[in-house]
Amino acid sequence: MRGKATAYLQTALANPTADFRPGQWECIEGILKSERQLVVQKTGWGKSMVYFLGTRLLRDQGKGLTLLVSPLLSLMRNQIMAANRIGILAETINSSNTDDWEVIEARLLADKVDILLISPERLANDDFRERVLQKVANRVGLFVVDEAHCISDWGHDFRPDYRRIVRVLQALPKNIPILATTATANDRVVEDVAYQLGALNVVRGSLIRETLALQNIWLPNPPARMAWLAEHLKNLPGSGIIYTLTVRDSERVTEWLKANGYNVAAYHAKIDSEAEEQGSEKEKHRREHLEHRLLKNEVKALVATVALGMGFDKPDLGFVVHFQRPGSVVHYYQQVGRAGRAVDYAYGILMGGEEDKAITDFFIKNAFPPQAHVDKILGALNAADGGLSVPMMQKQLNLSYGDIQKCLKLLAVETPSPVAKIMSAWHATPVNYQMDHEKIRGLCELRQAEQAQMIDYMKTKDCLMGYLGRALDDKTVKECGKCVNCLRHDLMPTTVNTDLANRAAIFLKRSYQPIEPRKRWPTTDIFDYYPLKGAAIGTDIMAEQGKALSLLGDAGWGHMVREDKYNVGKFRDALADGCMQMLETWQPQPQPIWLTCIPSLTHPDLVPDFARRLAARIGIPFVSCLKKIRQNEEQKHMHNSFQQAKNLDGVFDVDQASMPSGSVLLVDDMVDSRWTFTVATALLRQAGCPAVFPLALALNSPRTD
Amino acid sequence: MTTEQITENAKAILLLCGRFGAVDDTGAQPLNIKEYDELAAWLLSKKWWPADLLSEENQGVLSDAFAPVEPARMKALLARGASMAIAIEKWFNKGLWVLCRSDEAYPQRLKQHLKRLAPPILYGAGDRSLLSKGGLAVVGSRNINGEAESFARAVGRSAAQAGMQLISGAARGVDETAMHGAFEEGGAVIGVMADSLLRAAVSRKYREGIRSGQLTLISPCNPEACFNVGNAMGRNKYIYALAEYAVVVSSDCETGGTWAGAAEELRREGGRPVFVRAGSSVPKGNTELLRKGAKPLSADALTAGLKDALNAAIASRAEALAVPSKEESVVADEPPPIAVTPATYPEPFVEAGASRMAVSEAPVVLPSSVYEAVKPLILNALDKPRKLDELVKTLKVRKTQLQDWAKLLMKEGIIEEQTVRKAKKFSIRKPDEELKLK
């Protein structure tokens, strides 16, 4: 059989002298013996060749197709070619090719497909299972799970869908071989996966990547790191990835580098949802498009969050730079390991700063929903007769859409789960559910220990690749001879151009935030008091695009806004100067000829006082024609759109008699959900105001990745 | 129960007999109870367990000339592993469990009472220990009048007061009313479903009871199965099997599931004692069942002393049997009791320490008539509306004979004839209210 397999290998690689890498044939043999295997090998070792050949030999025996569960969007071009040479046809079913499902399904049922690639999300989706998968799964000869470290709760990468996948694997009968593969797993994760899957053969290889040269650079403040990037990015070879910890940083670093003449683009989880919100069909797969541009070297770098991760494979990536320190060695290894797969030399530069710890702590703290959210949601579902949709829950519960989704996702993957999604509604199941606080505490402690190890890695004088290898329990580690510690001299300069750093600081201070107008009410006819009907916010009552001076709490203006609002009780003149500068670059048209502000009953003077001074500087009248006629709950305690908009019902009134004509600047100190601006604008517009430009001192948006 | 706890034997039985997903697969037909039983006997003759069918080295033996199941069908069934795993994961995720005849926890009552006709797979939600506690079965039609309703409620209440759990079909009408009665008094209830177990388990009316351990729902059918007359009628025997006594609240005469189930139980050797609601305004089926050997139960007996009353009635009946009466001769005209030789059916495959017993004298279960015997075959062939000629072909029977049977089935209201695109076709009739639910 080995001879036959070798012949297939040579055909697949179009290389008549090719032979197996150590361990490959043993894995294929295991597949043929219907074994369960976990393969830990770095990317590029040839895991795909193992399941290609395994599939070929099983198909020769008359077995069914191979089901490959992987976050990959599709197989790589060279992989598909190799598979085709030995007569293996692969198809992909994922959310981006729904139009092709019917054709693929027919081919599957006609047994014309040898490998079916589906994403973990698809496998965990009940609807998809019923419509497509169940029929196909009647003939599966081999089950392959990629990125198998996600199976372990103790892995660095908590992916809820894998919790359902592992239970599918447990329920597989022994006549179907299982191949689980990963490029990163320490002993603890390997043990956990083996424990969960039972009787598992583990195949481990070296994780060291010889072509990668590593260096760590400590630059505490963000402007210094931005200056470093602006100065040195051009000297890094080829194209690469710059990782940031937050979406906001990804956006800002992108803007900064663009301003410095670089061809870069931001990449994060929000890109697709933003495009979707704007309803533009061609923008829907923007992330895929961005990946494609990087693959083709059309950009110097993508400035990405962790969202650019599994499934992205560019063999000739020249560098990976970290703008901030990742939360764990495994994260770091996985990200930096994307560089240098098929080039002789690539850079891995890790920069660290003062904000890293706060950000990572925030992520650790918010990884699990609090008990109160779980209780609220389960309470509502238990009281409901026919189940509840997420919008219905938003109406009943003062929880944000994101919090509800996070909670449901976590609950749904528990087995047995206290919730079940049937069609589009969520139901309570007959399961008694208790949150496992002990386990959550254990995981948080583990995450903190991982962060401590990463901080230690920043400081180590040992071989950096060696350090990573040891941390990943790779028994084959030796000194790399390439990193900054092995060479005892810098690979890249660690100094920063002061002029550039100053410019970066000013850039950060001036990062005005757009305030996009809301276009739809949370539901149809949401208000009882206001004469605002329907679901759409018509252009006749809509705001113009507004601007916020800063991000709350950020270095620069954001810091002053917070200090003045919460500690001083009066906004300083410097903020009015800042607004003047902003208006100069902004130039709202038609030019506002008067100014008003959002009234408050709790702080009746704070904002009007500032608005009056700002109006005087601009040289237009301040008119307080917007009145607050009813005290309501503070907006910041409202956690979703429905609650936020509803909380404003009947709160404001416009004194039409005193209202001047012409376009207006509408001032408030902080903007968050935008509903206050939206409602006040609608009332002003109904009273006859031709254009309303919202202006806020700070944008307060929660930090997410 | 977690997915890791499903044994390889249970997986093999599920592969052979289970249906996965709401969409029926287009491939091989899963084994029915009888086919599974024949296969089990064959495996036993080879000293094999079901899981041995999954071993690579044993694949050749599937083509054994004596194998009771076509090799191609068996292979196709056993290849459904991924489909099964996906289905199991889904069921368990929603809080269901699965028991196969090879599992130690499989309810003994079903095996003892039904012998070889005990379902190979049982799906359920809730506390499994309820299944071994016996109790009082309550059956009756979906449409009931006020008198029957208050009787059903009182049966539920008094069963709970007397410390007996209630077993019913969890359908509208008698079943639900009696269940509510038992719930009101804090009694435990088992609901035996013929369809939609998954949906029922998450419904508001049941989930709280399941969670508190007061209610257990079980089904021998795929948890996602839709309503099917055959399944609905077939489950009556499981309701009796799990109980010690049975009460018929309202029954049609010579038709319907309640009648068929009660009549079958009265014929069964060692059948559960069957009581029937007595009174002036009971339906004809009730009085006819009395004539067939059921015992009357009046509303006065529905107190906390119900259990004693039932036992006393059984004892006096035993005495009365010593003297042949006029009524007995009527009973004698009926088909003889179902003959079953061994007192308990020795399950060949039970894991966890139980020794593997041989089926020495295979028990024979005879249907009451040829018509009764072929009924399931015909219904099974009606997986969708079919023309008479098609049925003649699949069932390998003379056309005129099949026409006779079809007439009987239509008379019983089990099937109906429709005209689909100018062709006359037979199909299984769905009760009107079930259609509305869809």
Please write the tens of the pLDDT for every residue from B74-93: 988 999 999 999 999 999 98
**pLDDT at residue B353 tops 50:** no
Whether residues B89 and A385 touch (CB distance < 8 A) is answered with no
Residue A150 — very low, low, confident or very high, per pLDDT cuts 50/70/90? confident
Q: Are B135 and B190 in contact (CB under 8 A)?
A: yes
A-B contacts at Cβ under 8 angstroms: 156
Chain B residues lying within 8 Å of A387, measured CB to CB: 202
Q: Suggest the residue from A134, A143, A176 to mutate for an interface test with chain B (most B CBs closer than 10 A).
A: A134
List every span in chain A annotated with CATH 3.40.50.300.
Answer: 2-204, 212-361+457-506
Q: Dump pLDDT digits (tens) for A437-476.
A: 898 898 899 999 999 999 999 999 999 999 999 999 988 8
* Partner residues linked to A420 by β-bridges: A427
Residue A156 — very low, low, confident or very high, per pLDDT cuts 50/70/90? low
Q: Are B123 and B1 in contact (CB under 8 A)?
A: no
Q: Name which of A123, A413, A432 is nearest B211 (Cβ-Cβ).
A: A432
Bridging pattern class, strands A319-322 and B245-248: unpaired
**pLDDT at residue A551 tops 90:** no
Cβ–Cβ contact A106 with B under 8 A: no
Q: Dump pLDDT digits (tens) for A260-305.
A: 999 999 998 877 665 544 444 444 578 888 988 999 999 999 999 9
Domains of chain B: 3-104 (no CATH), 128-333 (3.40.50.450), 370-432 (1.10.10.10)
Q: Dump pLDDT digits (tens) for A236-269.
A: 999 999 999 998 899 999 999 999 999 999 998 8
Residue B438 confidence (pLDDT): 30
Q: How many CB atoms lie within 10 A of CB A534?
A: 11
Class of CATH domain A365-438: mainly alpha
Helices (H), B3-105: 8-17, 33-45, 71-78, 81-93
Q: Name which of A133, A134, A176 is nearest B81 (Cβ-Cβ).
A: A176
High-pLDDT (> 90) share of chain A, %: 62
Cβ–Cβ contact A195 with B under 8 A: no
Chain A residues lying within 8 Å of B94, measured CB to CB: 416-417, 420, 429
Instruction: Specify the CATH number for A212-361+457-506; select among 3.40.50.300, 3.30.365.10, 3.90.25.10, 3.30.565.10.
Output: 3.40.50.300
Whether residues A415 and B206 touch (CB distance < 8 A) is answered with no
The pair of three-digit structure tokens given for residue A256, joined into one six-digit string? 């900064």
Question: By three-state DSSP, how is residue A356 classified?
Answer: helix
Q: Are A318 and A299 in contact (CB under 8 A)?
A: no
Q: Dump pLDDT digits (tens) for B7-33.
A: 999 999 999 999 887 555 556 889 999
Q: Name which of A412, A422, A430 is nearest B210 (Cβ-Cβ).
A: A430
User: What is the pLDDT averaged over residues A116-145?
Assistant: 87
Chain A residues lying within 8 Å of B95, measured CB to CB: 416-417, 420, 429-431
Residue A129 — very low, low, confident or very high, per pLDDT cuts 50/70/90? confident
Chain A residues lying within 8 Å of B12, measured CB to CB: 173
Cα–Cα distance measured from residue A330 to residue A205, given in angstroms and rounded to the nearest whole number: 16
Q: How many CB atoms lie within 10 A of CB A441?
A: 11
Q: Dump pLDDT digits (tens) for B359-398.
A: 333 344 566 678 877 887 888 788 778 888 888 888 888 8
Whether residues B93 and A415 touch (CB distance < 8 A) is answered with yes
Whether residues A175 and B54 touch (CB distance < 8 A) is answered with yes
**pLDDT at residue A503 tops 90:** yes
Residue A273 confidence (pLDDT): 60
Residue A75 confidence (pLDDT): 74
Chain B residues lying within 8 Å of A140, measured CB to CB: 79, 81-83
Whether residues B83 and A134 touch (CB distance < 8 A) is answered with yes
Q: Suggest the residue from A197, A414, A431 to mutate for an interface test with chain B (most B CBs closer than 10 A).
A: A431
Chain B residues lying within 8 Å of A415, measured CB to CB: 2-3, 89, 92-93
- Which A positions 405-434 lie with beta carbon below 8 A of chain B? 412-417, 420, 422, 427-432
Q: Suggest the residue from B1, B25, B94 to mutate for an interface test with chain A (most A CBs closer than 10 A).
A: B94
Task: Give the CA radius of gyration of chain B.
Answer: 22
Cα–Cα distance measured from residue B213 to residue B219, given in angstroms and rounded to the nearest whole number: 17
Residue A316 — very low, low, confident or very high, per pLDDT cuts 50/70/90? very high
Highest mean pLDDT among A96-100, A485-489, B89-93: A485-489
Q: Dump pLDDT digits (tens) for A178-219.
A: 999 998 888 888 888 888 888 789 988 888 888 999 999 999
Residue B357 — very low, low, confident or very high, per pLDDT cuts 50/70/90? very low
Question: By three-state DSSP, how is residue B362 classified?
Answer: coil
Residue A297 confidence (pLDDT): 94
Whether residues A135 and B21 touch (CB distance < 8 A) is answered with yes
Task: Give the CA radius of gyration of chain A.
Answer: 28
Per DSSP, A62 falls in state T
User: What is the pLDDT averaged over residues A387-406?
Assistant: 90
Whether residues A173 and B94 touch (CB distance < 8 A) is answered with no
Residue with tokens 């130690």: B104
Residue B432 confidence (pLDDT): 44
Cα–Cα distance measured from residue A359 to residue A344, given in angstroms and rounded to the nearest whole number: 34
Cα–Cα distance measured from residue A23 to residue A45, given in angstroms and rounded to the nearest whole number: 10
Task: Pick the more confident residue, B135 or A161.
Answer: B135
User: Going by C-beta distance under 8 Å and a sequence separation of 6 or more, which residues neighbour residue A639?
Assistant: A398, A399, A400, A403
User: What is the pLDDT averaged over residues B95-123?
Assistant: 90
Q: Which fold has domain A2-204?
A: Rossmann fold (3.40.50)
Residue B246 confidence (pLDDT): 95
Q: Name the architecture of domain A511-699.
A: 3-Layer(aba) Sandwich (3.40)
**pLDDT at residue B343 tops 50:** no
Q: Dump pLDDT digits (tens) for A407-417.
A: 998 898 888 89
Q: Name which of B12, B81, B94 is nearest A172 (Cβ-Cβ).
A: B81
**pLDDT at residue A30 tops 50:** yes
**pLDDT at residue A684 tops 90:** yes
Residue A698 confidence (pLDDT): 93
Q: Are A668 and A676 in contact (CB under 8 A)?
A: yes
Nearest residue to A625 (alpha-carbon basis) of A603, A593, A594 = A594
- Which A positions 129-188 lie with beta carbon below 8 A of chain B? 129-130, 133-135, 137-141, 143, 164, 167-176
In sequence order, what DSSP letters do the residues of B9-37 get, joined into one string? HHHHHHHHH---SSSPPSSPPPP-HHHHH
Whether residues B207 and A171 touch (CB distance < 8 A) is answered with no
Kindly report the nearest CA distance between residue B60 and chain A, in angstroms. Answer: 13
Cβ–Cβ contact A656 with B under 8 A: no
Q: Are B183 and B209 in contact (CB under 8 A)?
A: yes
Torsion angle of C-alpha atoms B401, B407, B410, B414, degrees rounded to 10: -20
Residue A657 confidence (pLDDT): 92
Question: What's the start-to-end Cα distance of chain A, in Å?
Answer: 49
Residue A105 confidence (pLDDT): 87
Whether residues A129 and B8 touch (CB distance < 8 A) is answered with no
Highest mean pLDDT among A70-84, A277-291, A509-523, A653-667: A653-667
* 0.80 surpassed by pTM: no
Whether residues B94 and A170 touch (CB distance < 8 A) is answered with no
Nearest residue of A to residue B12, measured between CA atoms? A173
Nearest residue of B to residue A433, measured between CA atoms? B211
Q: Suggest the residue from B6, B92, B93 to mutate for an interface test with chain A (most A CBs closer than 10 A).
A: B93
Kindly report the nearest CA distance between residue B284 and chain A, in angstroms. Answer: 38
Chain B residues lying within 8 Å of A416, measured CB to CB: 92-96
Cα–Cα distance measured from residue A35 to residue A199, given in angstroms and rounded to the nearest whole number: 9
Nearest residue of B to residue A417, measured between CA atoms? B93
Q: Name which of B55, B82, B95 is nearest A430 (Cβ-Cβ).
A: B95
High-pLDDT (> 70) share of chain B, %: 84
Nearest residue to A108 (alpha-carbon basis) of A83, A70, A139, A87 = A139
**pLDDT at residue A632 tops 50:** yes
The pair of three-digit structure tokens given for residue A272, joined into one six-digit string? 């697709």
Residue A272 confidence (pLDDT): 66
